[in-house]
Structure 1
Amino acid sequence: MGQMTADNMSDCIEQYLKAILTKDKHIEIKRASIAEQFDVVPSQINYVIKTRFTLQRGYLVESKRGGRGYIRIEQVAPGADDAYLRAMVASLGDLTTSSQADEVLDCLMQKGLLTKHEQSLIGALLSTEALTFGNVQKANALRTRLLTQLLNRLRFESERG
């Protein structure tokens, strides 16, 4: 399958799942049955879910493997909610790239937790240019720590009302 075809198929799968989510707040799907429906390998379904149904885009994904396995996708209302911000921190992992940080900042701006100006300033501080000091892993680890501090500060502010 050519790259263009794979991308188009990913778009179709994403649109299909989002259409279902407009009716229900969450869905449970079987990876194999969706793959069969779209005539793709199951890993294509994993790819779509991993890249297009992220917490930063307003989705919580839970996956259970095995014979009765399923993937549950739930729309969440991102915002200054403590549970959402804690989940954002947990989703960072240990090493955050500049583009991942930009996605988080964009989400925070879209949800009204940062102004466009604040997003731009923080983005500059977390950029590859700002954090280049010879070791990409250390830069990504530092970016994660800085983003975690920002998210925890937003949690603290949301608790204080």
Structure 2
Amino acid sequence: MSNISDIIEQYIKQILKSGNAGFVDVKRSELADRFQCVPSQINYVISTRFTFQKGYIVESKRGGGGFIRIRKVELDPDCTLYQAVVKLIGSQITQREAEGIIERLLEEEIITDREARMLEAAVHRDVLQAAIPERDRLRANLLIAMIRAILKG
């Protein structure tokens, strides 16, 4: 059984897919009413499930007619896929950000489910036992190397 966050995420993704605009405007209070949850639950879903690493840009307009715009970001056509992913990873990356990139690669069917599980296992904080700044640099280097092997192999 899915939890409320999963249901809200799937609902927003379905709206994004069905529209032609490439974005969706949502009102936090309307979503909260629809799913009978508190507005902070909507904030949580948007801030954790619709991140840049997962391929989204979130903009908000405050005030009486305020809304949250969620836009699906397409990869830069001037870059190779590998270059785009390396740019997303940067010189250091947290476990959550790495998982977001892996999830996006899986959703875009660039990697298999097995490859995703292997990448996640290799970049997990329990495996990379180092102090945080060094761990995030090591995770970035490792993730870039493994993605290079998958995409260029």
- C-alpha offsets along residues 36-91 of structure 1, whole Å, 9 cap, x if unaligned? 22221111111111222233433222223333321111123346655x6598358x
Asked whether the equivalents of residues 106 and 113 of structure 2 are also in contact (C-alpha less than 8 Å), the reply is yes
Asked whether the equivalents of residues 79 and 111 of structure 1 are also in contact (C-alpha less than 8 Å), the reply is no
The match for 1:88 is: 88
The match for 1:13 is: 8
Give the SS at the match of 2:3.
helix
* Equivalent residue in structure 1 for 2:101, among 85, 100, 104: 104
Give the SS at the match of 2:69.
strand
- C-alpha offsets along residues 78-134 of structure 1, whole Å, 9 cap, x if unaligned? 46655x6598358x9x7612x53244245346658779999788767644355323x
The match for 1:159 is: none
Task: Return 122-131 or 21-30, whichever deviates more.
Answer: 122-131
CA distance in 1, matches of 2:31, 2:103: 30
Task: Return 65-74 or 103-112, whichever deviates more.
Answer: 103-112
- Superposition deviation, residue 34 in structure 1: 1.4
* Equivalent residue in structure 1 for 2:42, among 45, 49, 53: 45
Asked whether the equivalents of residues 57 and 70 of structure 2 are also in contact (C-alpha less than 8 Å), the reply is yes
Considering only aligned residues, what root-mean-square deviation do their CA atoms show, in Å? 4.2
CA pair 56-138 structure 1, distance change in 2 beyond 3 A: closer
CA distance in 2, matches of 1:8, 1:14: 10
The percentage of counterpart residues that share the same residue type is 37
CA distance in 1, matches of 2:7, 2:121: 34
CA distance in 2, matches of 1:146, 1:80: 24
The match for 2:31 is: 34
Give structure 2 stretches of 5+ with no counterpart: 149-153
Normalization by structure 2: what TM-score? 0.61
Equivalent AA in structure 2 for residue 66 of structure 1: G
The match for 1:157 is: none
- Superposition deviation, residue 30 in structure 1: 1.3
CA distance in 1, matches of 2:4, 2:60: 22
Q: Determine whether 1:138 maps to 2:136.
A: no
Higher helix share: 1
Give the SS at the match of 2:141.
helix
CA distance in 2, matches of 1:121, 1:51: 22
CA distance in 2, matches of 1:23, 1:42: 24
Asked whether the equivalents of residues 54 and 103 of structure 2 are also in contact (C-alpha less than 8 Å), the reply is no
Give structure 1 stretches of 5+ with no counterpart: 155-161
